[in-house]
């Protein structure tokens, strides 16, 4: 009998197909035509091929836009939103619109021509996470922005271009995205009812249950969420309550670097180098500091969602927000838990 499971945060129902559960080898990884783009604009030595850097983590006394960096942040050459101009919010008959103002940056994750983030050291991954944090903090100064989304598209089937150089992207948005709003509203509803953070409750239950737990290292857990939409969908959450990713300290960043590397290594081995996306879910800019439910940040909890792209999304999913997941999260977690890298 398949199961219908409800996501405890946003209330989305997911069909978990327990009958004919798909195992790692049942997924066919699309092998994209990966003709290499040369020279690679993201490699050290080719800094002139990108727009000038916005920020870099680099060796002392090296010059901007020259080699010597570990992580380099540059504007996206073909940005989806433009950084300059006014929002000019306006109606169009019954409709609403504004100018496509926003930031779109590329975080180049290594000076070397390396495709997989999991091949980097956990110290290097910690530097990348530090760059994420710094960029989110810096962009808050721009009052036009309400949210910063940080995400990675690994391989073309996950939306990346064909350049095989490890990187992620940042988009600063002038409107809080709908699904972020949904997550915040759902988490608040739970908080109002229970006086507890729903994510904290998830972390507790998963640590106790163990069935959906993949890793429990230092201050972080990696889990297969109870109502996972996708096979091998994995969330990394800090055990300690925190709404805002930018509140993370250096020790925690180092721990997170280890956990992220380990999860990606295992996924890579178990699922034969799948395309994947990850997204950092964090609180929006300028949330009001208090509400009748107490300090407002008590109700939300930042985390990272990693989604290997193993299945196609069909009409059913688009039409309903109702997902069919052919791999029960308990099995996905077991496989990932037992993978040795």
How far, in Å, CA of 64 to CA of 132, rounded? 18
CB 307 within 8 A of CB 277: yes
Residues 52-91, one symbol each (x = binds its own copies by CB under 8 A, - = not), give --------------------------x-xxx--x------
| From candidates 125, 172, 180, 270, binder to its own copies by CB under 8 A | 180
Q: What angle do CA 10, 173, 301 make, to 5 degrees?
A: 40
Residue with token string 């940042």: 170
Q: Residue 340 carries which DSSP code? A: -
How far, in Å, CA of 132 to CA of 173, rounded? 15
| From candidates 65, 112, 321, 337, binder to its own copies by CB under 8 A | 321
Can residue 286 be called a binding residue for its own copies (CB under 8 A)? no
Residues 251-270, one symbol each (x = binds its own copies by CB under 8 A, - = not), give --------------------
Q: How far is the CB of 159 from its own copies (least distance, A)?
A: 2
Residues 111-140, one symbol each (x = binds its own copies by CB under 8 A, - = not), give ------------------------------
How far, in Å, CA of 47 to CA of 278, rounded? 26
Can residue 318 be called a binding residue for its own copies (CB under 8 A)? yes
Can residue 12 be called a binding residue for its own copies (CB under 8 A)? yes
| Helices 122-139 and 250-270: angle between axes, nearest 10 degrees | 120
| From candidates 44, 175, 185, 253, binder to its own copies by CB under 8 A | 175
Q: Which of 205, 228, 257, 250 is nearest to 333 (CA)?
A: 228
CB 156 within 8 A of CB 162: yes
| From candidates 96, 141, 193, 340, binder to its own copies by CB under 8 A | 96
Q: How far is the CB of 198 from its own copies (least distance, A)?
A: 8
């Amino acid at each position: 009998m398949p199961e219908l499971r409800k996501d405890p945060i946003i209330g989305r129902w997911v069909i978990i197909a327990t009958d004919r559960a798909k195992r790692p080898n049942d997924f066919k990884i699309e092998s994209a035509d990966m003709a290499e783009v040369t020279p690679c604009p993201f490699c050290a030595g080719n800094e002139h091929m990108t727009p000038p850097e916005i920020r870099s983590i680099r060796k002392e006394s090296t010059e901007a836009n020259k080699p010597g960096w570990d992580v380099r942040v540059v504007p996206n050459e073909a940005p989806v939103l433009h950084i300059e101009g006014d929002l000019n919010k306006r109606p169009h008959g019954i409709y609403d619109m504004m100018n496509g103002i926003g930031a779109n940056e590329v975080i180049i994750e290594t000076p070397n021509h390396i495709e997989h983030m999991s091949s980097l050291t956990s110290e290097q991954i910690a530097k990348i996470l530090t760059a994420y944090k710094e960029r989110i903090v810096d962009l808050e100064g721009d009052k036009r922005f309400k949210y910063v989304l940080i995400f990675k598209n690994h391989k073309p089937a996950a939306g990346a271009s064909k350049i095989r150089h490890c990187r992620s992207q940042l988009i600063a948005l002038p409107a809080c995205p709908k699904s972020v709003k949904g997550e915040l509203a759902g988490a608040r509803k739970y908080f109002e009812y229970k006086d507890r953070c729903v994510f904290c409750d998830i972390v507790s239950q998963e640590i106790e249950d163990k069935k959906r737990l993949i890793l429990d290292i230092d201050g972080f857990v990696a889990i297969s969420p109870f109502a996972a939409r996708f096979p091998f969908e994995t969330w990394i959450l800090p055990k300690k309550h925190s709404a805002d990713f930018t509140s993370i300290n250096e020790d925690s960043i180092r721990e997170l670097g280890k956990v992220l590397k380990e999860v990606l290594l295992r996924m890579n081995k178990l699922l034969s180098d799948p395309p994947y996306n990850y997204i950092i879910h964090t609180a929006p800019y300028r949330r009001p500091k208090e509400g009748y439910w107490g300090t407002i940040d008590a109700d939300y909890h930042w985390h990272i969602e990693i989604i290997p792209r193993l299945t196609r999304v069909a009409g059913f999913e688009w039409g309903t927000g109702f997902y069919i997941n052919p791999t029960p999260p308990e099995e996905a977690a077991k496989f990932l838990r037992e993978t040795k890298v």
